[in-house]
Homo-oligomer: A and B are copies of this chain.
């Protein structure tokens, strides 16, 4: 499949590398076509790995992963262009964290909005599904790094898009347990969760962890 991965950070490179290893044709998108990190990634990854600017990358993808820093997501999608994204499944992994004042990051939203929803408002024809932002990049594509049962969460309004994303998480990335939280407003929960994740990381002194949700 032809896939666009927007973003050249750890999340973008990890997702893109995994997709290439599965035999997909992956185009990493960045602000400028000559981005050094994207270029180095494509060179290192070899066959099936390309890099272009956001618009060309989005145009090439049958599905699109949004992996930029959260503050840059909407800008990146605007540069990608509404026509290049229209009717496509957009897997939003970005986190609604503002690091402009350094560490600790603060949430961009207090619970009455989310990045997932703001993407949907700005691009109503895009089928946005929020997922994977609750785990470390390596765990996203290798959930078996964490022992035992543990869960990934999906939020989105388009049932078909959500089913496709669940299939991708299951069959490509190896996720066994997936919880469909509901529509895209449920991204408010998983986006706020990241503050909890940061404190758990401090307490557990590892990034190879996740949560499992036992219920009655």
- Flag if B203 contacts A179 (CB, 8 Å): yes
A172, CB-defined interface residue at 8 Å = no
A62, CB-defined interface residue at 8 Å = no
- Flag if B107 contacts A216 (CB, 8 Å): no
- The stretch among A15-23, A37-45, A84-92, A194-202 that forms the contact with chain B is A194-202
A149, CB-defined interface residue at 8 Å = yes
Number of A residues whose C-beta is below 8 Å from B?
A: 46
* Residues of B with C-beta under 8 A to A194: 192
- Flag if A186 contacts B199 (CB, 8 Å): yes
- Flag if B146 contacts A215 (CB, 8 Å): yes
Q: What's the least CB distance linking A160 to chain B, in Å?
A: 19
Interchain CB contact (< 8 A) of A110 among B106, B182, B199, B215? B106
Q: What's the least CB distance linking A195 to chain B, in Å?
A: 4
- Flag if B212 contacts A200 (CB, 8 Å): no
Q: Which residues of A does B touch, CB under 8 Å?
A: 97-98, 104-107, 110-112, 145-150, 155, 179-182, 186, 188-190, 192-200, 202-204, 206, 208-216
